[in-house]
Amino acid sequence: MTDASAPNPMTVDPVPTPRPRGTSLSGVARLQALRDDGRRIVMLTCYDASFAGLCSAVGVDTLLVGDSLGMVIQGESSTVPVTVEQMRYHVACVARGAASAAPPSPVLVADLPFGSYHASPHVAQANAATLMQAGAEVVKVEGAGRDNGWLFEVVAFLVDRGIPVCGHLGLTPQSVAQIGGYRVQGRGDDAAERLLADALALERAGVSMLVLEMVPSALAARITGALRIPTIGIGAGPGCSGQVLVLHDLLGVYPGRKARFVRDFTRDADGTVRGPADAIRAYVDAVRDGSFPAPEHTFD
């Protein structure tokens, strides 16, 4: 524990990373401007105030308060046990930390957790409002809703009420019990066409951006080319509008098995150890210059 009045070394940025054009815009408009300008969007998961300040200072464009916190913070074996109240708490922590850094703050996206948007559009709206009031600017939902596309109706309901929504297709961790494991999605012609159709339907329903997780690179690039909104890939190759990683994977501290799409940024090419600020900065630079993800992080 340190003196609270002393400057927080986590939020100090000795070499500020230049901000791209469009930073006077806020929220999803800023991310859309980056995509429209052909600039890669840097997203990172974040769960607390200190790392939110640090990520802001090194120029991360958007922070995802992911329900991956169930695994990396709480030690659960999936994201399923995470509640709206737990998400609200972490969103508020991240919002305070991001606000403490020099503007512009990263766009704050928050997961609506398992079961919080399925019962009805009204329930989804109430839970989304809880996360927005805690500081989220966008809420994220997983999947497409196979049963008459129920999720498209939920998305349209939220968007009509002023709530920006991010979709999430491919590997959708909240459905891991149904999918049967963390495996690549969209392989084979039928699955690929369905994923593309779902992405287009989500865009029509009003999502402002789309996460693509564990999708073959060529398919993710095709989906990105077919959409007007930004796509953010994780294990989806370099052809997306941006990239996201789980913070604890980037820092090499998550004890679970390292997925193919993960790169530990805590060592440079010579093996020299980087501290958290330099590791996150290296990730920001690698996404922006297109060197991450490399072929060894992608799926065919």
- 203 belongs to the catalytic site: no
Q: Is 66 in the site for ligand KIV (CB under 6 A)?
A: yes
Q: Is 111 in the site for ligand KIV (CB under 6 A)?
A: yes
Choose between 216 and 233: whose C-beta lies nearer to ligand KIV: 233
The Cα 15–Cα 251 span in angstroms is 20
Q: Is 154 in the site for ligand KIV (CB under 6 A)?
A: no
Instruction: Tell me the closest approach of the beta carbon of residue 189 to ligand KIV, in angstroms.
Output: 26
Give the range of 63-71, 87-95, 143-151, 202-210 binding ligand KIV by CB under 6 A.
Answer: 63-71
Choose between 154 and 244: whose C-beta lies nearer to ligand KIV: 244
Q: Which residues of 46-76 are buried (b: 16+ CB within 10 A; e: fewer)?
A: bbbbbbbbbbbbbbbbbbbbbbbbbbbeeee
Choose between 150 and 182: whose C-beta lies nearer to ligand KIV: 182
Query: Which one from 137, 142, 203, 213 is the annotated catalytic residue?
Result: 213
Nearest to 87 by CA among 107, 70, 63: 70
Instruction: Tell me the closest approach of the beta carbon of residue 212 to ligand KIV, in angstroms.
Output: 9
Among residues 211, 229, 240, 280, the one that binds ligand KIV under rule CB under 6 A: 211
Q: Is 223 in the site for ligand KIV (CB under 6 A)?
A: no
3-state secondary structure 9-49: HHHCCCCCCCCCCCCCCCHHHHHHHHHHCCCCEEEEECCCH
Give the range of 2-10, 65-73, 98-106, 199-207 binding ligand KIV by CB under 6 A.
Answer: 65-73
| 184 CB neighbour count, 10 Å cutoff | 19
Tokens of 4: 């609270």
Q: Are 116 and 124 in contact (CB under 8 A)?
A: yes
**133 burial level (CB within 10 Å; 0-12, 13-18, 19+):** exposed
Residue 283: strand, helix, or coil? helix
Among residues 212, 246, 262, 282, the one that binds ligand KIV under rule CB under 6 A: 246
Tokens of 13: 């940025």
User: How many residues lie near ligand KIV (CB under 6 A)?
Assistant: 12
Nearest to 33 by CA among 109, 25, 224: 25
Choose between 34 and 234: whose C-beta lies nearer to ligand KIV: 234
Active site (catalytic) residues: 213
The residues of the shown chain that bind ligand KIV, judged by CB under 6 A, are: 45, 64, 66-68, 111, 168, 211, 213, 234, 244, 246
